[in-house]
Amino acid sequence: MKFLRAMKKLKIKQQIIAAVMACVLGIGGIYSVHASVINDAKNKKNEAQQELDNLNSQIDEIQAAQSDLQEEMDAYDDQLMALLTDMDLLENDMDAKQDEIDQANADLEVAQEKEQTQYNAMKTRIQYMYENGDSNYWEAMMGATSITDLLNRVEYVSEVYDYDRKQLTAYQETVQQVADLKDQLNAQLAEMEELKISYEDQASSLQALIAEKSAAMDNFDAQLASAKSLASQYADTIKKQNQIIADEQARQAAEEAAARRRAAQQQQNAGNQSNTTGSDTNASASGSGTGLTSSGLNPAHTTNVSGSDVVAFASQYVGYPYVYGGNSLTEGADCSYFVMACFGQYGISLPRNSYSMQSCGQAVSYDCAQPGDIICYPGHVAIYMGNGRIVHASSPTNGICYGSATYRTILTIRRVL
C-alpha cells in the first residue's frame, strides 16, 4: 500500500511539473514573440523621435530667420512709406510752384505789354514833336502872356519828357523784377524735379530690396511648410509605433493570463488536492507618451554752442557745388552732409541722412525758430538763419545757397544746440 501511495504521489507530482513546465514554456514563447514586435516598434519610434527632434530644431531656426527677415522687411516698408509720403508732399510743392510760375508768366506778359504801350506812346510824342517841334514849340512859347506863363509852358514840356522817361523806366524795372522772379521759381522747380528723380531711384531700390526679401521669405515659408509636413509625418509614425507597442503589450498580457488559466486548469485536472495557492500576476500595459510638444514749442538750448556761429560757418561755403552723396564742403556735398559737417565743426554729432535728422534733438515750432535750428523738408534739410531765411546745399543747379525757409512744405524743425 505504501508503495502504491508513493507511486500515486509521484505521478501527481509529474503531472504538476508537466503543467508548470507547459505554462512556463507557453509564457516564454509569448514573451519571445511579443518582445520582437515591441523592440521593432520601439526602434522605429526612437528613430522617428530623433528625426522629429532634428526637424523641430530646424523649424526653430527657420522661424528665427523668418523673424529677423520680417524685421528687415518692416524697416524697409517704413522707409518706403516715408519716402512715398515725401514724394506726395514734393508733388504738391511742385504743383504749387508751377502755379506760381504760371502767374509770373502772366504778370510778365502784362508788364511787357505796358512797357511796349508806354514805349510806343513816348515814340509817337517824340516823333510828333520832332516833326512839328520847332514851329509848334515856338508858337507855344510866343503865345505866353507873361513870364510866368512862359516858364510854366517850358516846364510843362520838360515834365512831359521826364514823365515819359520815368514811366518807361518803371515799366522796364517791373519787367525785370518779374523776369527775375520767374527765373528763381524755375530754378526752385528744377531743384524739386531733381529731388523727385532721386526719390524715384530710392523708391525703386527699396522696392527691389523688398521684392528680394519677399522672395527669401517665400523660400522660408516653403522650407517651413516642408519641415512641418515631415514633422507631422514623424509624429504620426511615433503615434502609430506607440499604438503598436501598447497593442502588443495588451496582447502579451492577455496571452499570459490565458496561459496561466490553462496551467491552472491542468493542475486542477491533475487532481491536485494539496493546499497550494496560485497567484496570478496582474500585468498592465501602458503606452508611453509621444514626447510631442504746434505752436509755442521753444525748448531751451542744451549746449553752449551759438546758432549764429553755426550759421556764419555754413555761410562761408555759399557758392560751392552740390553733389549727391558728396562728402566735401568745398568739392561737393549734399544737403545732409552739409548740415552734418557744419554742426560737426562744433562737436554736434548728427546722422548722415535727412530722414534720420527729423528725429534729432527737440521739436521747435516755426514761430519760435532760431538761428542754428534745422529745418526738415521731405527728403531735404537746411540750417535756419533767422528772419525766414535758410542756408542749404540746394541742388546740382543751385549748389550751396541761401533761400526762403518756406519755399517748400516743412515737416519739422529740430533744435540740437
CATH of the domain at 384: 3.90.1720.10
The pLDDT of residue 330: 95
Query: Is there a single domain that holds both residue 251 and residue 333?
Result: no
**Which range has the worst mean pLDDT, 42-56, 153-167, 183-197, 307-321?**
153-167
pLDDT band for position 36 (cuts 50, 70, 90): confident
Query: Is there a single domain that holds both residue 52 and residue 174?
Result: yes
Query: Is there a single domain that holds both residue 265 and residue 346?
Result: no
Asked if the model's pLDDT at residue 373 lies above 70, the reply is yes
Beta strands across the sheet bearing 389-395: 362-363, 412-415, 374-377, 380-386, 389-395, 399-404
| 274, part of any domain | no
Mean pLDDT of 334-354: 95
| 280, part of any domain | no
Asked if the model's pLDDT at residue 23 lies above 70, the reply is no
Asked if the model's pLDDT at residue 284 lies above 50, the reply is no
| 135, part of any domain | yes
Q: Which amino acid is present at 302?
A: T
| 320, part of any domain | yes
| 218, part of any domain | yes
pLDDT band for position 361 (cuts 50, 70, 90): very high
| 277, part of any domain | no
Query: Is there a single domain that holds both residue 234 and residue 337?
Result: no
Domain that holds residue 312: 307-415
Number of domains in the chain: 2
Average pLDDT of the chain to the nearest whole number: 75
Q: How far apart are CA 239 and CA 290, in angstroms?
A: 7
- The number of helices, as runs of H, and strands, as runs of E, in the chain is 5, 8
CATH number, residue 77: 1.10.287
The pLDDT of residue 131: 56
| 396, part of any domain | yes
Query: Is there a single domain that holds both residue 16 and residue 113?
Result: yes
144-191: pLDDT as tens digits = 455 554 455 445 556 666 766 777 677 678 778 878 877 887 888 788
- Single residue among 269, 298, 326 that ends a domain in this structure: 269
| 202, part of any domain | yes
Whether this model's pTM surpasses 0.75: no
Helix (H) or strand (E) holding 240: helix 147-269
Asked if the model's pLDDT at residue 286 lies above 60, the reply is no
91-145: pLDDT as tens digits = 777 787 788 878 878 877 877 787 777 667 666 665 655 555 544 544 554 554 5
- Single residue among 222, 246, 269 that ends a domain in this structure: 269
Q: How far apart are CA 218 and CA 228, in angstroms?
A: 15
Which one is predicted more confidently, 12 or 321? 321
The pLDDT of residue 293: 33
Asked if the model's pLDDT at residue 416 lies above 80, the reply is yes
Is residue 381 within 8 A of residue 336, CB to CB? The reply is: yes
The pLDDT of residue 309: 96
SS3 384: strand
The pLDDT of residue 349: 95
Query: Is there a single domain that holds both residue 322 and residue 240?
Result: no
